[in-house]
Amino acid sequence: MQKNVNPYVVLCLGVMAVSGAAVFIKLSQAPPLVIASYRMLLASLILSPLAWQYRQELLSLQRRQVALLLLSGMALAVHFAAWISSLSYTSVASSTVLVSTQPVFVLALSYILFKEKASRRQLIGTGLAMVGSVLIGLADRGGNALSPLWGDLLALLGALAAAIYFLCGKALRQGLGVVPYATSAYGISAVMLLALTGLTGAPLWPYNLREWLLFIALALVCTVIGHSCLNWSLAYLPTAAVGVAILGEPLGASLMAFLIWNERPSPLQLAGSALLLSGILLFLWQNKN
């Protein structure tokens, strides 16, 4: 993928692709760590033949870059382990909204690490998007969640880990192609998740064809296409812009839930969605000019 491709188009494609993750996970009956493990393992295997062509880039990495790559993969593992687990305790809407609060962490860490200052318009856009996300989550209260508080905390941990993952990617993508970077990060994440799965005793097999199709969908659509588009965008857009755009994921997940399960949004959810989209557009318009 070359730079002459509009990075905002790629960013939007990535957000649409990752929006299906919550739906695929909800449809699966496998344990959370097993879902996360196979998602990362299959994604890394799918990209491996392409990554082999860029092996010299990986072999020429300096120690600092290797350390960042390891941190990126471990942060991605924590992100998926925490967020996918949260879906077992709280609602899809609340979990997706809270894990999308990563721009709060990204904005602060981006300034500290990269001196990426946010303008007043960007801050207003972020605030609108965050308020919209919170309204979507509030509209989901009163469901049959098993342990909402624990699930919400896991989703927030997932948000923090995602912020670290994107910040590492921002640093690495300045000198490393998206294919070798993504393949390596996914592979490191898969190893860590498989180790955690083994420690918890969750069975890695057998699973029926339906479960494997869901694993493949998560790996191919949400990770290889979705996350790789986000990783590509990091080389051309501010980290905070990518983080804020991902706030569109709860809206995408809600739309898919409506199409699949006929889950009609409440007036509060519609209001939150309007604020969320307005905030994203305001932030990205500022970055484009």
Report how far residue 75's alpha carbon sits from residue 69's, in angstroms, rounded to the nearest whole number.
10
The mean pLDDT of 39-64, rounded to a whole number, is 89
Quick one: pLDDT band at residue 281, thresholds 50, 70, 90? confident
Give me the mean pLDDT over the 133-149 stretch.
Answer: 64
Residue 57 lies in a domain: yes
Is residue 153 predicted with pLDDT exceeding 50?
yes
Residue 5 placed within a domain: no
Mean pLDDT of 100-111: 75
Confidence of residue 275 (pLDDT cuts 50, 70, 90): confident
Does the residue 4 lie in any domain? Answer: no
More confident residue, 3 or 160: 160
Decide: pTM greater than 0.85. no
Cβ neighbours of residue 124 under 8 Å, at least 6 residues apart?
Answer: 279, 282
In contact, 102 and 160? CB cutoff 8 Å = yes
Residue 99 contacts residue 159 (beta carbons within 8 Å): yes
1 part of a folded domain: no
- The string of pLDDT tens digits covering residues 194-234 is 999 999 888 998 999 999 999 999 999 999 998 888 878 87
Determine what percent of the chain is predicted with pLDDT higher than 70: 85
| pLDDT at position 140 | 55
Spatial CA neighbour of 195 closest among 77, 278, 101: 77
Residue 3 falls inside a structural domain? no
Q: At what angle do helices 92-99 and 249-261 cross, to 10 degrees?
A: 160
Domain assignment present for residue 9? The answer is no
Question: Residue 116 domain-assigned?
Answer: yes
**Would you say 282 and 121 are in contact if contact means Cβ atoms under 8 Å apart?**
yes
Of 114-123, 166-175, 180-189, 272-281, give the range with the top mean pLDDT: 180-189
Residue 12 in any domain: the answer is no
> Could you report the per-residue pLDDT of 242-260, keeping only the tens digit for each?
767 777 776 677 677 667 6
Q: In Å, how far from its chain's centre is CA 125?
A: 20
- pLDDT at site 21: 85
Count Cα atoms within 13 angstroms, Cβ side, for 52: 4
Under 8 Å between Cβ of 122 and 240: yes
On the CB side of 99, CA atoms within 13 Å amount to 31
The answer to whether residue 289 scores a pLDDT higher than 50 is no
pLDDT at 263: 62
Domain count, the chain: 1
Higher pLDDT, 43 or 172: 43
Range of the domain at 125: 17-288
